[in-house]
Amino acid sequence: MDLNDSTSLAELMSRYVSTETGFGVPKDGWRICLAHEFKEKRKPFQAKDVSLSNMIEHVSLGVRYLRWWYRKTQIEKKAPFIDMFRALPLRQIYGAPLGGIGGGSITRGWRGDFCRWQLNPGMYHYKTVIANQFTVCLRRCGQTVYQQVLSTERPPTLQGWNWGYCGEYAFYHALYPRAWTVYHLPGQNVTLTCRQVSPVIPHDYKDSSLPVAVFVWDIENKNDYALDVSIMFTMVNGSGHKDDKSGGHWNEPFHLEKDGESVSGVLLHHQMPVNPYTLCIAAREKDSSLPVAVFVWDIENKNDYALDVSIMFTMVNGSGHKDDKSGGHWNEPFHLEKDRESVSGVLLHHQMPVNPYTLCIAAREKYLCGVCFRRYTHYYGTKGDAAPSLSHYALTHYSKWEESIDEWQRPILQDGSLPAWYKSALFNELYFVVDGGTVWVELPEDADISGGLRPEDGGLPAQPEVVKDYGRFAYLEGQEYRMYNTYDVHFYASFALIMLWPKLALSVQYDIAGSVVQHDPTERLNLMNGRYSPVKTRGVVPHDIGDPDDEPWVRANAYMIHDTADWKDLNLKFVLQVYRDYYLTQDEQYLKDMWPICQTVMETELKFDKDGDGLIENSGYADQTYDGWKVTGPSAYCGGLWLASVCMMCKMARVLNCESVYQRYRDILERGRAAFDKLLWNGKYYNYDSSGQSMSNSVMSDQCAGHWFLRASGLGDDDYQAFPKEKICSALKSVFDLNVMSFSDGQMGAVNGMRPEGVPDRSSVQSDEVWVGVVYGLAATMIHEGMIEEGMRTAEGCYRAVWERMGMAFQTPEAYCEKGIYRSLAYMRPLSIWAMQLALNNRPNHGKTTDTDVGQD
């Protein structure tokens, strides 16, 4: 199999006919010609895709789900947190999202369309608004010589516009949080480069929270005569929703002067029955020759927990070149109504002998809820009038953002030992931190996240310092799996947060810790077994902190498939993250706060050590991560997580000088290690479970997850070794040989389950899937054990399949099968690719790990 980068790039760029490379476009990233068409067309997994045997086994579950789905959609008129009947169809169009963290998101596709909208937290609207476009006009000696909408579309509306730009003359290049689109204008000897920048900056907790983004236009005129170049940005008063045509919308001009800078523009007010908002397009003037255009929208949300939105785009006529002050530049606002469409905007004209420029900055402004405010209001106030100030700040600071982004990315991009595909995957998968339905809010003054149990009683402070100082953070399990901070998935994705925004990772942990001591006795039907049980049991980590459509942070455990009291892996994953986070941040107060909670959840787990052999047992669907895959008795996955957690309890007890606790867990570790090897080791790898049934010896790709976290936390050897190194290496080799190389010719990553004879385990709907985030974690484990080539090959298969063959850029799914099917687009777990970078940072001879690498602020 040929997986080299040049072959792959040639396929995505095969229809590009120009030789122009654009201005300042980097070598590394994801690049695609605007005329490219993906050959592979996949369909979403739906109920009809369940095998007959699994359908028979789960017929009662299907009936219960159907009843619940009908009540939710037809009676309550709400969207199900998982909709098995209306999965999102695959649209192979998405690009890097706009904006900072936690302020809502708008996605601009790789062909330039504004096509994915998240204006209400966690609730997505997938609609391409065709009138939202950039249009270029070239004039020579006062005469128009070229005019073109920079879109390959030929819509039936707005017929007076010159549509149908030839995509063979343009390409898109993404290296998140920036993206470039290069347009060569056929026959004009002019090339435009549009650079998109969002302030997503590691270890920056101010600018990264701002709802702003920047478009920078660089223009290359290779003619021997001067041209006047105008670039027009148009935006419809609306987001493509059916309510856009409900009427009652109006516009009004405004002018604001601040710190010697003037901003003028027009507000486009959009009235809707729920969540009215305002669009704003404005101009900033400097020295009478450097105008700026601003676009804003503002949503008023009447839900008592959801968040309000506004968005702003800012355009600068110039790029800081000395010729910017040469004069002759001008703006003109416009408003056009045609074909029953209403469009407003600002034209920025820039006259230069050669190389005219236009700069555009975009932002989302006010996010407010009845309980708390968006994080950026900490700096810009809560009155909802921050758009002009945000515009001013963005205009004067975007170059500093780019300097910070360059400084962060440069060491990785310049590392010649790393392949280009990996550099693209590492940075571009971070899109989900912004576009995961993300919310980042201030902690209200009267909030209490402790769950009611104070430190003197083994609980938490009402307002831990890190939460008070940095706010609360939540992101969805996936755009289709609408639950905030799904903990078994966050376990994998958390590497991105702890390495890049560690304060947010710790904030999530405090939220989860506070919920452990809570009890919600409300009886709720569990869809899997048909029995009723409490929504939340004390001493158990919740599955999630809630559905964005149903009081997140107030009502946890939106997931209702299983009884939450039976999930063994969630408690273990809490303990594993606590020590890993301490190891990477050295935050002693955090460790002290979490220690009593760790002891609480481990006591809950110990009740499953029924044989007293130091190893917990499973039954039925006993772990939450692989909840569709039956397990009986101790298993490689949960058993491994348990031993790793016991090992970390020993380490934390030593750090905190709790000798009696250390001795207790040391004894459990010794007994548990012996039982684990006796029950699960088969000489080559750890069996899936210890039942002795026909599928119990399947090879599970994620069998070394516990060891992975030990290695990521600087443990796994000597006194803190849970698994013999030679057995881990043998197990990883078996996984590589069978789950990776014997599956789809080694081109698609690692399948979850593989039979020893080299065929996928098809005993469940999950066992024959590839989970991208699990594969990245597996690759990190291999790298930790010195299997760098195998780890890279394993992860590469996923990247090539998702980003280059399936057309799922900026919507990486949870899962896909070998042929035809994918499941849950735009999923949280693939952020685990940052675990690979942590493993690479810890390579011998890589150099001493810096504070920035490991997540210290």
Concatenating the DSSP letter of every residue in 75-109 gives IS----SS-SSSPPPP-TT--PEES-TTB-EEEEP
Closest CA to 546 of 533, 564, 563, 559: 559
Note the pLDDT of residue 664: 97
Dist CA 831 CA 485 (whole Å) = 13
**Tokens at residue 14, please?**
């095969």
Dist CA 775 CA 792 (whole Å) = 10
DSSP state letter for 24: S
Closest CA to 38 of 613, 807, 675, 585: 807
Dist CA 563 CA 537 (whole Å) = 9
Dist CA 648 CA 645 (whole Å) = 5
Phi, psi of 292 (to 5 degrees): -130, 140
Q: How far is CA 786 from the centre of its chain?
A: 28
Task: Work out the number of other CB atoms within 10 angstroms of the CB of residue 386.
Answer: 25
Dist CA 420 CA 682 (whole Å) = 38
Note the pLDDT of residue 420: 96
Q: Do 313 and 235 meet the contact criterion of CB atoms below 8 Å apart?
A: yes
Note the pLDDT of residue 246: 74
Dist CA 685 CA 729 (whole Å) = 9
For the segment 410-444, what is each residue's pLDDT rounded down to a tens digit? 999 999 999 999 999 999 999 999 999 999 999 88
Task: Work out the number of other CB atoms within 10 angstroms of the CB of residue 481.
Answer: 22
Alpha-helix residue ranges (DSSP H) falling in 681-771: 705-712, 725-735
**Tokens at residue 119, please?**
């204006």
**DSSP-derived 3-state class of residue 347:** strand
DSSP E strand stretches across 450-519: 472-474
Residue located via tokens 């790298």: 783
Dist CA 708 CA 777 (whole Å) = 8
Tell me the C-alpha to C-alpha distance, in Å, between residue 735 and each of 103, 321, 550, 686, 767.
Answer: 41, 56, 41, 10, 14
Sequence-distant (6+) residues with CB within 8 A of 537 are 519, 564, 565
Q: Do 356 and 326 meet the contact criterion of CB atoms below 8 Å apart?
A: no
Q: List the Cα angle 459/460/463 in 5-degree steps.
A: 155
Sequence-distant (6+) residues with CB within 8 A of 383 are none
Looking only at Cα atoms, what is the longest distance across the chain? 90
Q: List the Cα angle 714/719/724 in 5-degree steps.
A: 80
**Tokens at residue 651, please?**
């380490």
Q: Specify the pairing of strand 212-221 against strand 190-197.
A: antiparallel
Phi, psi of 306 (to 5 degrees): -80, 175
pTM across the whole model: 0.90
Note the pLDDT of residue 231: 84
Note the pLDDT of residue 850: 42
Residue located via tokens 């360059």: 406
Residue located via tokens 């050295």: 586
Dist CA 284 CA 395 (whole Å) = 9
Phi, psi of 289 (to 5 degrees): -135, 0
DSSP string, 129-161: -TT-EEEEEEEETTEEEEEEES-S---SS-TTS
For the segment 254-301, what is each residue's pLDDT rounded down to a tens digit? 677 878 777 666 666 667 666 555 566 655 665 333 333 334 333 333
Tell me the C-alpha to C-alpha distance, in Å, between residue 444 and each of 91, 307, 824.
Answer: 39, 14, 34
Q: What is the torsional sign of CA 315, 316, 317, 320?
A: negative
Give every residue of the chain whose pLDDT is below 50, as ranges: 1-3, 287-331, 341, 346, 348-370, 619-622, 848-854
Alpha-helix residue ranges (DSSP H) falling in 689-800: 705-712, 725-735, 772-784, 788-799
DSSP state letter for 771: E
Q: Is 705 exposed, middle or buried (0-12, 13-18, 19+ CB in 10 A)?
A: buried
Dist CA 541 CA 556 (whole Å) = 10
Dist CA 73 CA 497 (whole Å) = 34
Phi-psi region of 255 (alpha: psi -120 to 50; beta: other; left: phi over 0): beta
Q: How far is CA 368 from the centre of its chain?
A: 22
Dist CA 491 CA 638 (whole Å) = 14
Dist CA 778 CA 772 (whole Å) = 10
SS3 content of the chain, % helix, strand, coil (to 5): 35, 25, 45
Dist CA 496 CA 518 (whole Å) = 28
Torsion of CA 500, 502, 508, 514, to 10 degrees: 170
Q: List the Cα angle 102/545/304 in 5-degree steps.
A: 65
Q: Specify the pairing of strand 123-125 against strand 532-536.
A: unpaired
Phi, psi of 229 (to 5 degrees): -120, 125
Q: Is 383 exposed, middle or buried (0-12, 13-18, 19+ CB in 10 A)?
A: exposed
Q: How far is CA 555 from the centre of its chain?
A: 23
Tell me the C-alpha to C-alpha distance, in Å, between residue 440 and each of 309, 443, 490.
Answer: 13, 10, 16
Dist CA 794 CA 778 (whole Å) = 8
**R_g over Cα of the chain:** 27
Q: Is 225 exposed, middle or buried (0-12, 13-18, 19+ CB in 10 A)?
A: exposed
First to last CA, the chain: 43
Q: Do 93 and 36 meet the contact criterion of CB atoms below 8 Å apart?
A: no
**Tokens at residue 89, please?**
């169809």
**Tokens at residue 636, please?**
């490689």
Residue located via tokens 């920036």: 178
* Burial per residue of 33-46, b for 16 or more beta-carbon CB atoms within 10 angstroms, e otherwise: bbbbebeeebebbe
Q: Do 171 and 129 meet the contact criterion of CB atoms below 8 Å apart?
A: no
